[in-house]
Amino acid sequence: MTEITRRNTLKLMSGAVIAGAAFSAMPRMAFSAGKITVLNWQGYGTDEAWSIKAFAEKTGIEVVHDYYSSESEMLTKLRTNPGAYDLVVLNAARCAQATAEDLLQPIDFSKVPNAATIDANLRSNANFLKDGKGYAVPWVWGMTSLAIRDGMPVPDSYKVLADPAYKGRVAMDDDAVICVAAGALMTGQDMNNPKDLGAIRDALKSIKPNVKLLWSTEDQWNKSFAAKEFDLSLFWSGGSVRSKRNSKLPVDFVVPKEGGIGWVDGLGIPASAPNAEGALAFANWLIDPTFYLEWATKVGAPASSNSAALASLPADDLSRQVHKPEYLKTMGIMSALPDDRREAFNNLWQEVKAFYAE
Amino acid sequence: MQNDNLTSASERGPSDPRVRRPLPSWVSTTALLMPTYGWLTLAVFLPLLTMLVFSFMAATPMGKAPIVFTLKQYRAFIDQPYLIGIAFTSLLIGFWTTFACAVLGFLAAVALARSTFGKTRELLLILILLPFWTNGLVRIFSWTMVLRENGFLDTIFHMVLPDAGSIGFLYTRYAVVVGLVHGYLPYMILTCYIALVTIDDAIIEAAASLGARWWTILFKILVPMAAPGLISGAVLTFIPVIGSFMEPRILGGRVGVTMGTVIEDQFTQAFNWPLGASLSFTLLAVVLAIFGTFSGVLRRGTAA
């Protein structure tokens, strides 16, 4: 904790005061210097009461929240309320969209000392970058990959989904983007921009004899897995940890050689943020091992982008075992899809489902 | 004329019921219909109209994207021919569900109307309505526990035949039909019951005393006379079943793909409201066409 010294804090606070004074000259822009507004999903890490209290004691910055209930709502709020938010939690795919619309400002990573240990693969993800500058601090990540019943042979490729050994024992995630991505990885293509949709269609159709059900909620997955309806499935990394920890299900999460189908949430600063300094301090706090350890062990959290934070978890922590840093090397990250490609993915999956149902 | 009415009304004051002249009939008709039609406009017509407009758009209106009108959503059945198979499956599921509901519901209604009286009948009616008191999702999930391999059905079956294989049929179309029949049977029983209680007992006694067997009474008297109930029950069942998505999704597993689930996917997953709306309206047109084709039969049925 050398980075948050009193001097640094004072520097930061005086910076905030100056910025505040500059802004308070404008009408209808009343805010206190030591205050930041965070835009996030409700109950997603940033609004834990104990953490906000500790952060305020440490830095004197008060954190208030506004919430969104869908990603499109988040973008709308950024577009229509300039100057209202200092920090926004957004998915990598949405980050690319927001930077394209000039809604975010580049991050001054020198003010986020914890970012030094952020995994390079996450930090250099194209979705966070524009003109070589980072527009969001990678925060937490997770992935969709294979889950298999304990004791069965560990698969090394997504091609196992079509293996006749699993006849009638496979469950698929009823999500067009995920399934098309799995099909792309089965056929050796880029999951975000596959060139040969026909091959993906054939690969997914070839799974038909194995497919027992399509799941759409984690609860449904748990119930069916507990009832031994299937042995192999596309599943979420975080979901597998919860199934194992809360429901004691004998599930093993496997990332085959093609890599996981990953997602990353980042912390962005709106272009119009009144208190960017305070927001950077809070972003630094959110990837800090101290905060993360408490969040992950007491509340439950996705994997931190900060390797140091992830390594601070106890060695027997299930989340740490599932989210191994080496997976980040092979993991593809879901990018923003243009409308026509998204529509093509959805139509493809709909066609495959109709084929399954025949 | 109207002015005269007004003056006399104000002179009489509002509290004189005896000499009030009747209002023209259209006034009272309009006044009585206004709340219903106003509500229908607000709750049914306007949202439906919005969806109709949506169905002609190229993409869901959102953000700053310009709105483009197109007819391509209505070409879905040509561009994606597998949808025809799904639509056929939906109609088939609708047909079998309606058929099973009609047989079971009619027999239950006959039993209810002809063999029970007073308290027993009330109790049975309540038992029939009982499924309506629980949430539909709860009912469907309880079926998964009954129908799955090593579920309740298997357990009971294995008590009788311990070595037999599984007879659980979760994740098949039969499971979907079972769940749907369970959900929509009360409609059929109630409509048939209402039609059956109006049949005069004397007609059946006359038939019996003239030597008619039970099946003659059932098919020559009860079914034709209760046809209006059967038909309205069938309409009430068929239409929602074709659009159902929860039952196929949970009980159908891999085979649970129907027009209902396709439309739901367009709204929730694909975020393609225009396509979802156009598919809904196409389905509505198909249903109307089916009822149009059989309207002659229906009219004869209701007239009987």
Say if residue B101's pLDDT is above 80: yes
**pTM, full prediction:** 0.78
Six-digit token string for B111: 């039993």
A vs B: CB pairs below 8 A: 68
- Domain identity same for A56 and A147: no
Q: Which residues in chain A come in under a pLDDT of 50?
A: 1, 24-33
CA angle A126, A128, A129 (to 5 degrees): 65
Q: How far is it, in rounded angstroms, from Cα A193 to Cα A177?
A: 11
- Domain identity same for A344 and A282: no
Say if residue B106's pLDDT is above 70: yes
- Domain identity same for A247 and A209: yes
- Domain assignment of residue A342, yes or no: yes
Q: How far is it, in rounded angstroms, from Cα B226 to Cα A308?
A: 76
- Domain identity same for A186 and A71: no
Specify the pLDDT at position A30: 38
Minimal CA separation from A325 to chain B, in Å: 31
| Partner residue opposite B272 with nearest CB, options A76, A175, A346 | A346
Say if residue B121's pLDDT is above 60: yes
Minimal CA separation from B226 to chain A, in Å: 37
Specify the pLDDT at position A76: 85
- Domain assignment of residue A182, yes or no: yes
- DSSP H or E segment with residue A242: helix A237-246
| Partner residue opposite B253 with nearest CB, options A76, A212, A342 | A212
| Partner residue opposite A176 with nearest CB, options B59, B150, B269 | B269
- Domain assignment of residue A3, yes or no: no
- Domain identity same for A218 and A344: yes
ipTM of the complex as predicted: 0.73
| Partner residue opposite B80 with nearest CB, options A79, A214, A347 | A347
Positive/negative CA dihedral, B206, B211, B214, B217: negative
CA A134 to mean position of chain CA atoms: 17
Six-digit token string for B225: 């006379």
Radius of gyration of chain B (CA): 26
The two beta strands, A232-236 and A211-215, are unpaired
Six-digit token string for B288: 């109307």
| Partner residue opposite A227 with nearest CB, options B148, B252, B270 | B148
Q: What residue in B sits closest to A215 (Cα-Cα)?
A: B253
CATH 1.10.3720.10 fits B78-300, yes or no: yes
Q: Hey, what amino acid is at B283?
A: L
Which residue out of A220, A223, A234, A353 would a mutagenesis test of the B interface target, given it has the greatest number of B Cβ atoms within 10 Å?
A353
- Domain identity same for A187 and A43: no
Which residue out of B57, B77, B78, B82 would a mutagenesis test of the A interface target, given it has the greatest number of A Cβ atoms within 10 Å?
B82
Which residue out of A103, A215, A350, A356 would a mutagenesis test of the B interface target, given it has the greatest number of B Cβ atoms within 10 Å?
A350
Confidence class for position B9, pLDDT limits 50, 70, 90: very low
Tell me the per-residue pLDDT of B182-235, one tens digit each, with 9 for 90 and over.
999 999 999 999 999 888 889 989 999 999 998 999 999 999 999 889 999 999
**B82/A350 CB distance under 8 A:** yes
Minimal CA separation from A126 to chain B, in Å: 24
Tell me the per-residue pLDDT of A172-189, one tens digit each, with 9 for 90 and over.
999 999 999 999 999 999
Say if residue B105's pLDDT is above 80: yes
Minimal CA separation from A102 to chain B, in Å: 14
| Partner residue opposite B270 with nearest CB, options A76, A214, A346 | A346
Q: What residue in A sits closest to B261 (Cα-Cα)?
A: A350
Six-digit token string for A264: 């990353």
Say if residue B10's pLDDT is above 80: no
Confidence class for position B295, pLDDT limits 50, 70, 90: confident
The answer to whether residues B135 and B156 touch, using CB atoms and an 8 Å cutoff, is no
Minimal CA separation from A74 to chain B, in Å: 11
Q: Which residues of A touch B257 (CB under 8 A)?
A: 353-354, 356-357
Which residue out of B75, B78, B254 would a mutagenesis test of the A interface target, given it has the greatest number of A Cβ atoms within 10 Å?
B254
Which residue out of A213, A220, A345 would a mutagenesis test of the B interface target, given it has the greatest number of B Cβ atoms within 10 Å?
A213
- Domain identity same for A210 and A185: yes
- Domain identity same for A41 and A135: yes
Minimal CA separation from B100 to chain A, in Å: 22
Specify the pLDDT at position B103: 95
Range of the domain at A101: 32-139+261-320
Domains in chain A: how many in total?
2
- Domain identity same for A168 and A302: no
- Domain assignment of residue A87, yes or no: yes
Q: Which residues of B touch A216 (CB under 8 A)?
A: 249
| Partner residue opposite B262 with nearest CB, options A72, A211, A350 | A350
- Domain identity same for A123 and A179: no
Specify the pLDDT at position A264: 93
Tell me the per-residue pLDDT of A44-63, one tens digit each, with 9 for 90 and over.
999 999 999 999 999 999 99
CA angle A58, A62, A66 (to 5 degrees): 135
Q: What is the CATH number of the domain that holds A286?
A: 3.40.190.10
- Domain identity same for A156 and A224: yes
- Domain identity same for A268 and A281: yes
The two beta strands, A170-173 and A232-236, are parallel
Angstrom CA distances, B233 to A166, A229, B225, B287, stand at 44, 36, 14, 15
Residues of A in CB contact (< 8 Å) with B are: 72, 75-76, 79, 175-176, 211-214, 216, 220, 223, 227-229, 339, 342-343, 346-347, 350-351, 353-358
Minimal CA separation from B270 to chain A, in Å: 6
Tell me the per-residue pLDDT of B19-75, one tens digit each, with 9 for 90 and over.
667 778 888 888 888 888 899 888 888 999 999 999 999 887 765 667 889 888 899
| Partner residue opposite B59 with nearest CB, options A75, A79, A339 | A339
Minimal CA separation from A176 to chain B, in Å: 8
How would you label B76-113 residue by residue, b for 16+ Cβ within 10 Å and e otherwise?
beeebebbeebbebbbebbbbbbebbbeebbebbbebb
Tell me the per-residue pLDDT of B77-100, one tens digit each, with 9 for 90 and over.
888 899 999 999 999 999 999 999
